[in-house]
Amino acid sequence: MTILDGKKLSHKIRENVKLEVQKLQKNNITPGLAVILVGSDPASAAYVNMKSKACKEAGIYSMVHEMPESISQENILEIIEMMNNNSNIDGILVQLPLPKHVDTTAILEAINPNKDVDGFHPYNVGRVVAGLDGFIPATPYGVMKLLEEYDINPKGKNVCIVGASNIVGKPMATLMLNANATVEICHIFTDDLKKHTLNADIICVGVGIVNLIKDDMVKDDVIIIDIGINRLESGKLTGDVDFNAVSQKCSYITPVPGGVGPMTIAMLLENTVTSAKNRPIVKG
């Protein structure tokens, strides 16, 4: 059994991002990332702080627009429009989830697709589905980079995606399909999850249920990508896979923490630098 070390790979990617930022700065371009945080959810605030810290370490300029839970949708849209028109901002991301009175789809569609470094705009979703260049959501993108690092080729493999969210499950399935895997997607309405996972060469799971995937649900030498993140009462972080039991059967597995999580931020930084490289040239 081999641990897929996302922490180690993310460090390598972030060092490369730092070098790319330095090259851009020689051309008087400093990549810029704007984050919109609505409300005071502790987990969201923690994620935003991690992203801001990572930007600072890479030399990326970042700003956080903190807004009260009660803010109107119109006010959020005004901030996004301002960021769309700010030539120093290359990436705009809205920390999800948003309050219930806000239409998440309308907010995400308001972001300029060229600054949609989270890859959630329908324009980028469509391009990725079509196998064209577009911003890829950071978590699935990070998973594919991790597989590549360990010379794991999904081509021809049976891949089971557990979870069908727009943020992880659906784009993960798309990337696996683009890599010529045979893909199954399981979700809350799947009648017999075990029936599907037992047939899988690669299982990607991210639904937020502790120990959802147990050792009797996987075949020998399976590759496990645990995208789930759960905090136990003890404060310990754990994934969606019964790590101790399943790791005895698999060939590769991601730990939680230290697997997919660090890759998510690394790929967000990489997307931001990619956007900066594509900045429109303003002719004086």
**3 state SS of 166:** coil
Instruction: Compute, in degrees rounded to 10, the torsion defined by CA atoms 175, 178, 179, 180.
Output: 130
Q: Is 187 helix (H, G, I), strand (E, B) or coil?
A: coil
Q: Which of 159, 245, 155, 172 is nearest to 207 (CA)?
A: 172
Q: Report residue 19's pLDDT band, with 50, 70 and 90 as the boundaries.
A: very high
β-bridge mates for residue 225, sequence order: 204
What does the pLDDT read at residue 167?
93
Does residue 283 have a pLDDT over 80?
Answer: no
The pLDDT assigned to 284 comes to 40
> What is the pLDDT averaged over residues 263-273?
97
pLDDT value at 100 more than 60: yes
Confidence at residue 10, expressed as pLDDT on a 0 to 100 scale: 97
Same domain, residue pair 147 and 195? yes
Q: What percent of the chain has pLDDT over 90?
A: 93
- Asked if residue 279 has pLDDT above 90, the reply is no
Contact 231, 208 (CB under 8 A): no
Is 73 catalytic? The answer is no
Query: Model confidence at 92, in pLDDT bands (50, 70, 90)?
Result: very high
pLDDT band at 46 (very low <50, low <70, confident <90, very high): confident
What would the mean pLDDT of 195-208 be, rounded to a whole number? 97
Q: What is the pLDDT of residue 281?
A: 64
Does one domain contain both 159 and 215? yes
Structural domain contains residue 49: yes
Mean pLDDT, to the nearest integer, of 215-231? Answer: 96
185: domain CATH number is 3.40.50.720
- Assigned domain for 6 exists: no
Note the pLDDT tens digit of each residue in 121-158: 999 999 999 999 999 999 999 999 999 999 999 999 99
Mean pLDDT of the chain: 95
How far separated are the first and last CA of the chain, in Å rounded?
58
> How many domains, the chain?
2
Q: How confident is the model at residue 235 (pLDDT cuts 50, 70, 90)?
A: confident
Nearest in space to 98 (alpha carbons), one of 69, 118, 137, 78: 69
Domain with 161 in it? 138-261
CATH number for position 94: 3.40.50.10860
Q: What's the average model confidence in pLDDT over 263-274?
A: 97
Do both 115 and 171 map to the same domain? no
* Interval 92-96 mean pLDDT: 94
Q: Is 95 a catalytic residue?
A: yes
Share of the chain above pLDDT 70, in %: 99
| Same domain for 178 and 87 | no
Domain annotation covers residue 143? yes
Q: Over 50: is that where the pLDDT of 83 sits?
A: yes
Domain boundary among 68, 96, 121: 121
Q: What is the mean pLDDT of residues 105-134?
A: 96
The model carries a pTM of 0.94
Residue 282 pLDDT > 70, yes or no?
no
Of these residues, 90, 115, 116, 118, which one is catalytic?
Answer: 118
> Has residue 8 been placed in a domain?
no
Does the annotation mark 7 as catalytic?
A: no
